[in-house]
Structure formats: C-alpha cells, structure tokens
C-alpha cells in the first residue's frame, strides 16, 4: 500500500522555528559575512554574490547561514558612503573589525544618578564591561566607530535610544586604548537601510 509523504512545510504539526531564534541566527550570519568581507573589491556593491560564495567555500559561512542572509539589505549597505569610507581605510591598512575591548567606569555612567535605595551599588564602585566592537577605522588621525544592527526598529530615534549608551562605552574604550580621539560614531541599521549618527560623550 502506498502512503504519501507530506513535506514538512505542509505539515501543520511540524515544528516551526521561533521568529526570535531566526532573527538571532540571521543577525549572526550577517555579522559573520561582514567580518570577512573583502573591502578591496571594486565596485564593492557588485561583488556581493561572489563574496558570499567565496565565504561559503572558505568555510567562513555555513550553507544555512548563506540562505538566511538579507541580500538586498547587504547590497544597500555596500553602496553607502560609510562603506566606501571603510573601503578607503582598508586600502590604507586602517580598518579594524571584531576588536575585543575591556572598559570600566562609574555606575553613574551606566545607570545615571544613583538613589539612596540602589541596592548594593556605590558611586565609588567601578563597573567593568567587555565585548566586541564590530568595526572602526582611522581617518585623518581620528577614529570613526561603526556598529551594525540587524534587529527591527521603526525609527532612527528608537535605534539611538536602544544603543547610544553602548556606543559611548565603545568610545570610552577606544579613546583610552588607542590614544586617539573618536570623532564620529554610527549605527548602521539594516532594517532601516540607514546610517544613523550617534552622539558622543
């Protein structure tokens, strides 16, 4: 007796990946692609498919990651003035990506004014944070800081509200670690397709 097989995508009982999980995986794939992106290609925006294939061949991206990349969003970024500035910095050997950092500051820097009922936190304490900076480059002796964001936001204001403090922490770490001033800070939102300026400390 022949029993037809129902494809998984038609089977309503088949497990469906949670959207938040897929979003996290896509964000990881987008960051991984950008980490290994060869900025020397000209024109940069036309090298996207070739570079994706090369990253898969070299094992930088898995085939699963390749399939969930947002190609239109990546192509839009590669056409921006910011990407072209990064390309020029790369030619000068002054583009840095996925740089680890450690930075510390007072609780007020992270949390604002402390109240008397703040549990276990003193204004004399030091808070230490460590993480990874997506990218920065040196231009005219000053640092330009970039952080990629793949999460959904509705506006530039929402993006700034969520991430300004994070970039200011990066600003603090880079200024101390490289002994160079940070002159510009940007969030690049793939959801908005925009380069968003972030205020410095």
Name the more confident of 107 and 42: 42
Percentage of the chain exceeding pLDDT 70? 80
Residue 187 near residue 176, CB atoms below 8 Å: no
Find where tokens 């944070």 sit. 129
At 18, the pLDDT band (50, 70, 90 cuts) reads low
Q: In this predicted model, what pLDDT tens digit does every residue of 45-79 receive, in sequence order?
A: 999 999 999 999 999 999 999 999 999 999 999 99
Task: Output the pLDDT for position 121.
Answer: 60
| Other Cβ atoms closer than 10 A to 172 | 19
Tell whether the model's pLDDT for residue 25 goes beyond 80.
yes
Q: Tens digit of pLDDT for each residue in 80-91?
A: 999 999 999 999
């Amino acid at each position: 007796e022949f029993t037809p097989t129902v494809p998984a995508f038609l089977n309503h009982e088949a497990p469906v990946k949670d959207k938040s999980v897929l979003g996290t995986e896509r964000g990881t794939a987008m960051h991984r692609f950008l980490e290994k992106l060869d900025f020397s290609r000209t024109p940069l925006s036309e090298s996207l498919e070739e570079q994706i294939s090369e990253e898969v061949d070299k094992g930088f991206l898995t085939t699963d990651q390749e399939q969930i990349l947002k190609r239109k969003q990546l192509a839009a970024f590669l056409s921006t003035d910011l990407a072209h500035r990064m390309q020029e910095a790369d030619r000068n050997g002054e583009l840095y990506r996925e740089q680890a950092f450690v930075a510390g500051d007072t609780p007020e820097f992270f949390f604002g004014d402390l109240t008397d009922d703040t549990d276990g936190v003193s204004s004399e304490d030091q808070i230490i944070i460590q993480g990874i900076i997506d990218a920065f480059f040196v231009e005219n002796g000053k640092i330009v800081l970039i952080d990629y964001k793949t999460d959904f936001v509705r506006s530039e204001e929402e993006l700034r509200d969520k991430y300004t403090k994070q970039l200011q922490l990066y600003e603090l770490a880079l200024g101390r670690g490289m002994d160079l001033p940070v002159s510009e800070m940007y969030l690049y939102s793939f959801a908005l397709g925009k380069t968003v300026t972030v205020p410095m400390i």
